[in-house]
Amino acid sequence: MSLPFKRSLRALQAGSEVTMLAVLGVAIILLALWTVWFLFASIPRYATGQVIAMNRSGSLIATFPLQTRLQPGQFARVHRAEPPDDGDLSAPAIVMLVERSTSGDRLAVELAAISDFWFSRTDVDAVVTPLLVDVEVEQVSPAQLVLRASGQWIDGPSVRLSPQSR
């Protein structure tokens, strides 16, 4: 009586080492490419604030959390919290002035438009669809994000893993 195990051994002996080496080579190349991406890819981190007023000159005033690192000259994108049905409207802006708010617990930021398109005063004053401002504060690699999330081996702002955590 022949055993099925013998047939398995014959199949293994008849297999080509070239195929196995090719598969192993492709796996090593993919692992190397992923490692390079993990260490050197550049992922932007944004700080988000809310527009609270519009000046007579047409510039917007927005508030950000106090620990946000903003400085004049950074580019920003102003958009509605909920885009309208006819598409996403957003406008580019530039940070002109950064100072503590009068209450002292937030940053007040003045933004100037860098294009002809801008939101109207009714958009700014509307309570239904508030305007938000996204400012790119830094570029980080996926490895830095993992190390920050773990809280070890790196100094820098912590990464919030959920909106509920403060």
**For 91-133, how does the pLDDT look when each residue is reduced to its tens digit (9 = 90+)?**
889 999 898 877 778 888 999 877 666 555 555 555 466 788 9
Mean pLDDT over 53-58 rounds to 80
- Cα–Cα distances (Å) from 93 to 12, 79, 80, 90, in that order, read 65, 11, 14, 10
**Are 74 and 135 in a shared domain?**
yes
Residue 157 placed within a domain: no
Q: What total of structural domains would you count in the chain?
A: 2
**Are 95 and 21 in a shared domain?**
no
pTM of the model: 0.64
Query: How far is the C-alpha of 59 from the C-alpha of 94, rounded, in Å?
Result: 10
**Are 138 and 78 in a shared domain?**
yes
**Are 60 and 131 in a shared domain?**
yes
**Are 26 and 91 in a shared domain?**
no
Q: Which residue has the higher pLDDT, 66 or 8?
A: 66
Residue 160 placed within a domain: no
**Are 85 and 20 in a shared domain?**
no
Q: Which of 30-39, 100-109, 133-142 has the lowest mean pLDDT?
A: 100-109
Please report, for the domain that includes residue 49, its CATH number: 2.40.30.170
Residue 158 placed within a domain: no
Q: Which residue has the higher pLDDT, 162 or 37?
A: 37
Whether residue 163 is predicted with pLDDT greater than 60 in this model: the reply is no
13: alpha, beta or left? (left if phi > 0; alpha if psi -120 to 50): alpha
Q: State the pLDDT at residue 56.
A: 79
Residue 99 placed within a domain: yes
The alpha-helical segments, DSSP class H, found in 15-164 are: 17-40, 121-125, 142-150
**Are 97 and 146 in a shared domain?**
yes
Q: What is the span of the domain harbouring residue 13? A: 4-40
Residue 164 placed within a domain: no
Q: With the C-alpha atoms ordered 109, 64, 101, 62, is the resulting torsion angle positive or negative?
A: positive
Residue 163 placed within a domain: no
**Are 25 and 62 in a shared domain?**
no
**Are 25 and 87 in a shared domain?**
no
**Are 79 and 103 in a shared domain?**
yes
